[in-house]
Chain A
Amino acid sequence: MSTYLITGGTVVDPSTDPDGGGRRADVLIENGEVLAIDTSIAKDDVEAIDATGLVVAPGLVDLHTHVREPGREDEETILTASAAAAAGGYTAICTMPNTDPVADSAAIVEKVWALGREAGLVEVLPAGALSKDLAGEKMADIGEMAMSAARVRLFTDDGRGVQDALFARRAMEYLRGFGAVYAEHCEIEALARGGHMHEGARSLALGLRGIPAAAEELMAARDIALARLTGCRLHLLHISTAGTVELVRRAKAEGLPVTAEATPHHFTLTDAALEDYDPMAKVNPPLREESDRAAVVAGLADGTIDAIATDHAPHSREEKDQELSYAPPGLVGLETALALTISELVEPGHLSLTQALERLSTAPARVLGLEDHGRIQPGRPANIVVFDPGAAWTIDATRFNSMSRNTPFEGRTVTGRVAHTFFNGRHTVVDGVVRVGAAV
């Protein structure tokens, strides 16, 4: 395994210096681990990477990736999702269980995990389903998944919310015994059914059935009450409304074990993106109003929202090239998340770069209990992203490593570009290009 010396960059590690702006330092990687971080390291026989003007940070961690394998390998595989993740600066992704078959047993999560190892570009951490077939009725094989080789730590029926409060309560009680996280897709289906966008003045004008903010907030409030009742760790996925942000803020003030994530599209776009009935802007939860978007930004700034997660959801051309009401919700996000975070949160001054990296890396690593991600520390595996925080580029979906191209950000000019990614000390992205086969 090669030895690498990253020289002249600004090392930003939110795990050790959450309030600082980073420091100029060289980073030495040997045998897959960070060997040293110092102002100036001189060493022969190394592969040198000139990071002058670049930021050297812990590899990003995505709490919310749909990989589509098994079942829809025409849209994305674990290998292509891994490549997209590496290209976006990620070193770990948590894959959602709504595959076909559903990841509700040890056999499936171990398969996903093994395919991730085989791809070798990022750590693939499968989330397990809470219920068999995501039906919300019978408990999935939670304990067996937690104890399997995949060591599943986060459980969710994502794509659907758990509708039955008693099921939610029992699942939380059971998960608590394994120290696992109950993650909720907050959506009361009776209120959301048939909706294509956020319910408000715009949906009324466009004649599209809306999904009210209350559909999300009601379930978030229920789950927070159940977390209080059971003591289970609760993570709220892709929160999108001002009301949910406030619920999380109060739960944290109360000291409850509650965390939350928000997506780049929810802090960047509003329901105005639907004015032209563009299926690319159809996503669940839907893009909300400006006041919600601003609340998500504020929640990320004050730490109410712990993590930025992509909800990377690949869909084929055939599926998205339809009438808005028929097109499935979702968009791909792994290759645009860092740049949107810098462009929408850091450049306007809502978050410092260090805070932004905390939300993209250190915090999600903490939610998953990952000790080898979210930090750059001698003696730990080298999971590192090197990026140019000032480089402007234009989003061009044809250049994505993902198999799918469904993005509402096509043609948008953004700032912040990944130059290198190291996963467990392997150089997976070199000058912005993914090295598939770097696994060996």
Chain B
Amino acid sequence: MNFFQRALKNVTRKLSKSMLLALTFFVIGNFVIVGLGISNAAEQAKVLTRKKMRAAITYQMDYDAFYEYVQNLPEDEQQDAYNHYPYITTDEIEALMADDRLSSINALTTLTAWPMDFEAVPLNNEYEQRENGSSMSCYIDENGQEVCEEYVWIEPEIFIKANAYPNMIEFADEMFVMVEGEMFSQEEIDDAAHVCLITDTMAEYNNLSVGDTIEISFESPADFNSSFNSWYQDLGITEEDVKMELEVIGIFNNMTEVDPTAENFEWMSKMESPENVVLMPDSVYAEYQYNLSSISWDYYKEMWPDDEYYQNDDNRPTMDSILSKTSVTLLLHDPLEVDNFVEEVEATLEGQFRELNANNETFKQLARPLDTLTLFASLIVGLVLINAVVIITLVTALTLKTREYEIGVLLSQGVSKLKVVGQFFVELAIVAIIGFTLSVGSGTMIAGKVGEEMLQYQVEFAGLEQTENEDEDHYIGNWNDSYFTEISLEDMVSEYKVDISPLIIGEIYAAGLGIVLISILIPSFMIMRYNPKKILMSAQ
């Protein structure tokens, strides 16, 4: 007849008292489950929505802050400050990349180009019929004669994403999926290897495969044959100088789809088509750009011998200045790490005209009703737990008072105080477990109903309307450099589901057993601080 057996006998032989206590625990359990259930569902909805949002962070120059800073400088220093425009340097980017939380990075230069020995994938829309053409332009020359010339324009047809690093966000996030070959390596980037990746549709359309070479031009071929654009001729840049041969080392599938029924489809140009995206190392374009800029610099230096800016070689373009960026996009492995990452990096950027944007404001604004719900639910849980401790302690104290005699008898038999407490704990724990177990079902149901009603009320109270995400369904072109996934309140609310997980049930049992222990210990101590004789005398 150990303390556990005695506890079982007491529970089963004093059934009405046990049932009443179980009912008390059942009611408390319901309140706790409602509170924890709502709180957990709200937190989960936020977590799931945050996970749905891409863990993208834009690290960018804060030129507003820079301009404000320059405006406050003495006038004679302002021009010098403008001449030393701040940019995000390669070293800076590499320092960010050292963080383990980072999955991939886009330090991109985006540009358009013209295909020379292959064709862009057609869209077969109305714009395509009009994109290239010519017009006659007439003027009166110095002899008073009217001269008419044809001005030809050819639209760029391919869109180039030149990344400074091989681990591009598009591949990490499966917006691009490699079909054949591979992404350019860091070594190829460092060596400015003339390599590229093209889409599978472009490859198929032109019967291209890995190992083939394509030729592109960074300037319109028409510009070299027109007297309207004599700039290249003045600089001595030929048509061949703006062309580049690139070896196809990879073919990828661009998962972005164009909706031919979308309103803007008819006016979309070929270069906006996801099929006409070409990837290449940023260093290759930077090298090309450096050569062009150097020629241009020398030209203007010679043309304007009195210009202070061009005469100062410190202002001459360098590879580093060309490779520098105004914005880079970082993708983290875990969306839940975004806030911490932003906070940590921001702390190191004081006075450096740099800022981070994680699209948090939208998320925080949308999460407001859920935050209110969490706060309310946490308050319920807190109040219920405090009340539960008080109520159960009182009930237990009253129950134990009626059992003073039994405590005295047990102690007079040499039963240790620990075993006496153990017996009462087991008794109360049994009824608590029964009460809490029954409350799991009803509490889940109540939490679901109450939570939904309250969330609806909060949504209306916050003045936020549940709108469809309009940007989600159609493509807005390769120019969109935002990697943020737009979310709507509906997205977040749809994630709100009260699901009483084993963890919550475990928490309820742990909290319940904690309450039981506290409520046993306090009155037990009050009674058992006396010796058995006093306890027995007090009970008689």
Q: Do A and B bind each other?
A: no
Could you tell me which A residues sit within 8 Å of B by CB distance?
none
Could you tell me which B residues sit within 8 Å of A by CB distance?
none
